[in-house]
Structure 1
Amino acid sequence: MEKKQMNFNEYLLFLQGFLTNPQRVGSLIPSSRFLAAKVVESVPWDEVKTVAELGSGTGAITRCMKTQLTGSTKVLLFERDKKMRENLKAEYPDFVCHSNACQLVKKLNHDDIGQLDCIISGLSFSNFTSEMRETLLNQIMKALKPGGIFVAFQYSLQMKKRFAADLTIEKIEFVPFNFPPAFVYICRKKEVPCNGYNTCCN
């Protein structure tokens, strides 16, 4: 009964977030357990000592991710919605919670972290303005170490070309059992020098 109550509260939080800012939240309900599992199993956790999750929401992926972590893994969660962020702080007191992924590099510096081994993103890039999208991608590229892992789920293939400009897309997995169905991008940051177009040079 307690678990059902928790799930209902999470759905309610997510729905409130969507109604308040549908462009930012991007979905009516949290990620399904199938999507969360696909995202988490795509990460080689033995390589990860520092990880950031962008757009953590009610913690559907966070919960699944926690089972893969060692005690020394540093975790940063980013969630703009205040109620969802407070919920994450209460549920994951050992993780560091921040509000704005556009300040990712600043927060890493504040927390005395260099570059990240892994970034997991639930942000709906296609819903953002082009300026915000580029700001976020610029922050991601600066924060992620060369060869670092970037896993993002999207509801279309719209971002494929843009991701490929800075990242090596190793695989794209389709997850039908989610609302809406989602594509999971499994990528690594390129280790070769950037060209003028890549955001990591800007």
Structure 2
Amino acid sequence: MSNEATLFLRQFLSNPRDISSVVPSSRWLARGMAEGLGPNTGRVVEFGPGTGRITHAILEAGVAPADLTLFEMNGEFVRHLQDRFRGVTIHHGPAQAAPNLLPPGVAHVISGLPLLSFPGPLRQEILRTAFSILAPGGSFVQFTYADRPALDEAELRRLGLRSELGRKVWANIPPARIYRLYQA
């Protein structure tokens, strides 16, 4: 088992509700989450990068390290990310801190947070946070292990958002569906 997988499993066993999977996202899911990003994307924020599988795919797509900001709550993951990704800004704290630490105008927010395991009010707060820093036309990219977005239709309407169905990534444990959310 790789060091990354061991770290991830150890964190899952200590707090399964916050981690929601026994293994990190697959490279295929990570590439799907980073789809459409490139050297000219602009600023990207990642909520809940964990061990950095999606972070790696974002950088591999061409986003400059200086244009990438991460928000991670787990101290072990933060230390791992700091060792692994030089030049990337990493905040040890909740996604909800983003508006206090970043100016608006972010091109995309990529989320590895297990939103479906969070209570509804927390999910909505995280989405409000994301859209408060996103530039007009920016997207919030999320995956779920269910075949539905992290917010139901009523919640999306209430927040003034629309959901775009992305592809299903079968090469992930468990299989995952990618969604993109935009201002309606």
TM bracket (short chain): 0.7 to 0.9
The letter for the 2-side match of 1:153 is F
Stretch moving more, 128-137 or 29-38: 128-137
User: Which residue does the alignment assign to 1:122?
Assistant: 112
Q: Distance in 2 between matches of 1:171 and 1:95?
A: 29
Structure 2, unpaired ranges of 5+: none
Aligned CA RMSD, in angstroms, stands at 2.0
TM-score (norm 2): 0.88
Residue 53 (structure 2) pairs with residue 63 (structure 1): no
TM-score (norm 1): 0.80
User: Which residue does the alignment assign to 1:11?
Assistant: 5
SS in structure 2 opposite 1:45? coil
Residue 162 (structure 2) pairs with residue 168 (structure 1): yes
Q: Deviations over 1:137-162 (max 9, x none)?
A: 11112111220022111111152535
Structure 1, unpaired ranges of 5+: 1-6, 191-202
User: Which residue does the alignment assign to 1:33?
Assistant: 27
Please, which of 125, 138, 143 is the counterpart of residue 128 of structure 2? 138
Stretch moving more, 67-76 or 114-123: 67-76
Contact kept in structure 2, 1:145 and 1:189, CA below 8 Å: no
User: Which residue does the alignment assign to 1:150?
Assistant: 140
The letter for the 1-side match of 2:97 is Q
Q: Deviations over 1:71-110 (max 9, x none)?
A: 48511011111111111011112011112112121121xx
Q: Distance in 2 between matches of 1:143 and 1:168?
A: 17
SS in structure 1 opposite 2:46? strand
Q: Distance in 1 between matches of 2:51 and 2:149?
A: 25
Counterparts in 2 of 1:170 and 1:14: CA distance versus 1, 3 Å: same
TM-aligned CA deviation for residue 57 of structure 1:
0.6
